[in-house]
Structure 1
Amino acid sequence: MNVAFRMPLEQARLIGSQPTSPTGYTKEEAAQANLAFDASVKQFLRDWIEHGTVSAHLPDLESDVEAFIEQGALRCFFKHRDDAFQQLLDQERIARHLLRPITEVYFEPDAYEPLLARYERRIYNLAAHRQHLEVPFRYSPPSRQEADGDTIDYSAMPAEQVREDIGMYFGTRRSDETALNLLGGKLRQEAWPYVHLPVHVVTEGYMEDSLRAVKTATEHLQEKGDAQLHCFLIQRRHAADDRHLGAALLLMNPKQPNLPQRVIFCDTLNPSGIPPWWHKFKHKLDTVFPQPEGHAPVSDRLEDGGVNLQRLHDGVPVRHQDIDCAFYTFSMVRALVGVAKSAPHMILHGPVEKIVSLMTARMPEYFVLPDRPRDPALVREENVWLRWNTGQEALKNMKRRPTIEVPMPQMVVLETTQQAIELPA
């Protein structure tokens, strides 16, 4: 299947029907680049061994050294070096390949699976075993890895033993904490500075934890004598047993921290007129914001601000399933930040339908016009592009990261001004 691939905006063009890859980068070009990368990593490992960094028990025979490089050397390097990834990124040739743009990646046209070098995939897989070294979407889950970091090759297995799942594919792997933290950081940057309506972004815990954080933050504002309305925007997974991500907007009055003035729930699925998580969200609202007996529950104030972007999985091949709710909800929250800044009166008093229209107008990656979504194939390709660039951002952060890190105390931080509101985790 050959379809058009959406390129970065600065190079936007439709490739049409390419005989090789939707990006226009051929399989032969990718294979040559991958061979050069593998050679660079092997030479790096060879230098590491020759400098005597490995155990003295390593055999001296050249053939044994080469066999070690082909099998366990990279795993050994990651095992003995806390800064293994940073050292690799300090090598210009290695870093250039890992940080290459999507236009220099060959993707299988059907599944959008990138053709990665053997040692590149090993690096991603081995690094993912260490906290904060995950390169989002580019590593296989531990159950899909062999001892030396190779991804298990299903093509060599009997067909009856192959069980497809979303972890097999670059385009269907779930967003890990590294990806969510990168997205959350961008949202907090978008929220500051504000002019009229203070905007807070919450990206910690699960949805109920985030609702409690909003309530606690509002109580702190009350203690400080703040009487201004505040807009809180949440982007989180729903629960430990539900990995779908949702977004929510809460308008809070510090004088009434237990009574949200407005609540808008933004889901990315709307198959039958009601978002799948609607009733669960209502329950969590009433759990976090209980009202006195005889008063209407907070859930009666709930408004639907969702969009029907995400595809359902029933009857869809695994490699085509839509596991991109992190990008949809990120786009929605970023757009709502923009609406809160440019048209705060709409957040305060406007009808939810108008807010959704203004939101979708600020989501050009997913909407051609307000309330008019892009073709699903183009949406799919946009998300492939976002997945690759999220990995690039993670690698750039690793490259900048100092070798020694001081662990920070865990806390919920709602960054709304230069002085953040810090809440116990």
Structure 2
Amino acid sequence: MAANFFFDQEVHSFLREWVNGHKEETLLQFEQPLDEYIRNDALRDFFLNTRRPIQQLLKNRIIACHLGRRSKFVYFDPVNGDPLLADTEQRIYNLARRMDSENMHVPFRSVHPNKQTEAGDTADISTYPTGSALCYNSGNHFMSRPANGNVFNENSKRCTAKSEGRLHILFKRGFLEDRLQEIKMLTAAIQNEVEALPQFFVIYSRHSLQEGHFGTSLVVMDPANPDFPIRVTVCDTLLKDLPQHPRWWNHFIEEYSNVFGPGITEIIEDLSHPLQKVNIKGDHPYNHDWDCPYYAASMADALADMVKNDPDLILNGRLEAVHNAMKDLMPDYYKKGYELKDRQDIRRVNRLRRWLSGREVIKELVIEINRTSSYEL
């Protein structure tokens, strides 16, 4: 609370200095006393009249350090997991989302523009029109497509860095069938190389245009036969207990069959993990929307690490051994004995990951402002 109070004071000082140098741009001041204007409307005027306003704010070291602070300095609501933000901090995120491009959007820290007051505060749900769908769209929680895009970029950058040699990471926008066609082309391109060893492809993608759920696959190809894989394992997050299949199973089968023919159904193996079981009946739908990209990225990371550490296990290991090896490489979600972590522990991990996703965006903006900055977040 003290940190939030001092942050509000620092932003007010920043705005006071800005107002003194931009009298002609204080359009919303009207007859308000200066102090009242600073508290109520100056930040909105600053956003309306400043190019890349967040970057201008981040040039202030105190503001930058607070916006980019570590999760241990943040209080999270124990019920919904939302961070307790300073009043002006919440306004910064809301106004950035409302007035700027998606590139300025900080994930999981703003609400939809229709859920904001004119000043950029988060509106009380009781103020929504009677019968408005807004009331039922996750209330006032922090979610959006731009946030998902930022999370995708963050996870993609980390995971694709593991590509090397026979390991190919296809962590791209689009759908599973697009990636499978790409695999066939890449495999055919190395068909005539002297040492055409098995190639390992880790895919992170949405299933299809009809079903946008995220999933992960590992496809092993022999360059001598680019038309049919050696082994295929697919990963979802909705499985209760093997050998049951998740409800998205038919989408995996359809997309693979479209590319490799109906015979592919005989070799597809299910490596799904029941991570979504932490979301119990009655939970808000945003829990799934928030968590799924992190679950799928964790599975993709584990598969990539397995290829690097033990490719023979991928080629010849029993499915149960491969499944357990994945669990060893997913310590955020599994205990050492292959047992899924407690619901609250998993939700805490994902909450911290969401904060880190926002922090990564802030850090990148600071680096863009000044690559030789003397302070670190």
Q: CA deviation at 1:339?
A: 0.8
Residue aligning to 1:316: 282
Residue aligning to 1:149: 120
Partner of residue 284 from structure 1, selected from 248, 251, 255: 255
Q: Secondary structure at the match of 2:174?
A: coil
Distance 1:149 1:399, change over 3 A: same
Mapped contact 1:231–1:251 kept (Cα < 8 A): yes
Q: Which has the higher helix share?
A: 2
Q: CA deviation at 1:267?
A: 0.5
Where in structure 2 are there 5+ consecutive unaligned residues? 371-377
Residue aligning to 1:131: 102
- Higher mean displacement: 115-124 or 305-314: 305-314
**1:5-50, CA deviations, whole angstroms, 9 ceiling, x for partnerless residues?**
xxxxxxxxxxxxxxxxxxxxxxxxx2x3222212211221221221
Cα distance in 1 between the residues matched to 2:130 and 2:27 = 42
Q: CA RMSD in A?
A: 2.9
Mapped contact 1:266–1:306 kept (Cα < 8 A): yes
Cα distance in 2 between the residues matched to 1:213 and 1:282 = 17
Q: Secondary structure at the match of 2:200?
A: strand
Residue aligning to 1:341: 308
Cα distance in 2 between the residues matched to 1:340 and 1:83 = 43
In the alignment, structure 1 residue 95 sits paired with structure 2 residue 61: no
Mapped contact 1:141–1:167 kept (Cα < 8 A): no
**How do 1:2-401 and structure 2 match up within 5 A?**
30=1, 32-52=2-22, 54-55=24-25, 63-128=32-97, 129-154=100-125, 163-166=135-138, 168-170=140-142, 176-189=148-161, 191-193=162-164, 197-222=166-191, 227-271=196-240, 273-289=244-260, 291=261, 297-311=263-277, 315-318=281-284, 321-323=287-289, 324-401=291-368
Mapped contact 2:196–2:222 kept (Cα < 8 A): yes
TM-score (normalizing by structure 1): 0.76
Q: CA deviation at 1:315?
A: 3.0
**1:145-194, CA deviations, whole angstroms, 9 ceiling, x for partnerless residues?**
23332222226669977834336324x777510011101111112x1455
Letter in 2 for 1:49: V
Mapped contact 1:235–1:247 kept (Cα < 8 A): yes
Distance 1:124 1:240, change over 3 A: farther
Cα distance in 2 between the residues matched to 1:253 and 1:80 = 58
Cα distance in 2 between the residues matched to 1:146 and 1:212 = 47
Mapped contact 2:219–2:232 kept (Cα < 8 A): yes
Cα distance in 1 between the residues matched to 2:267 and 2:160 = 26
Q: CA deviation at 1:127?
A: 2.1
Mapped contact 1:251–1:260 kept (Cα < 8 A): yes
Cα distance in 1 between the residues matched to 2:190 and 2:92 = 46
Distance 1:398 1:56, change over 3 A: closer
Q: CA deviation at 1:397?
A: 1.0
- Higher mean displacement: 87-96 or 264-273: 264-273
Q: CA deviation at 1:123?
A: 1.4
Cα distance in 2 between the residues matched to 1:59 and 1:142 = 22
Cα distance in 2 between the residues matched to 1:132 and 1:239 = 26
Mapped contact 1:226–1:254 kept (Cα < 8 A): no
Mapped contact 1:42–1:69 kept (Cα < 8 A): yes
Mapped contact 1:136–1:179 kept (Cα < 8 A): yes
Q: Secondary structure at the match of 2:94?
A: helix
Mapped contact 1:167–1:173 kept (Cα < 8 A): no
Cα distance in 1 between the residues matched to 2:93 and 2:191 = 47
TM-score (normalizing by structure 2): 0.85
Letter in 2 for 1:308: P
Mapped contact 1:237–1:245 kept (Cα < 8 A): yes
Q: CA deviation at 1:258?
A: 2.6
Q: CA deviation at 1:334?
A: 1.0
Q: How many residues align?
A: 363
Cα distance in 2 between the residues matched to 1:229 and 1:109 = 48
Mapped contact 1:187–1:201 kept (Cα < 8 A): no
Q: Secondary structure at the match of 1:303?
A: strand
Q: CA deviation at 1:232?
A: 1.1
Cα distance in 1 between the residues matched to 2:280 and 2:327 = 26
Letter in 2 for 1:186: R
Mapped contact 1:230–1:252 kept (Cα < 8 A): yes
Identity of aligned residues (%): 32
Residue aligning to 1:422: none
Mapped contact 1:124–1:134 kept (Cα < 8 A): yes
Residue aligning to 1:24: none
Letter in 2 for 1:81: T
Q: CA deviation at 1:64?
A: 4.7
Mapped contact 1:367–1:374 kept (Cα < 8 A): yes
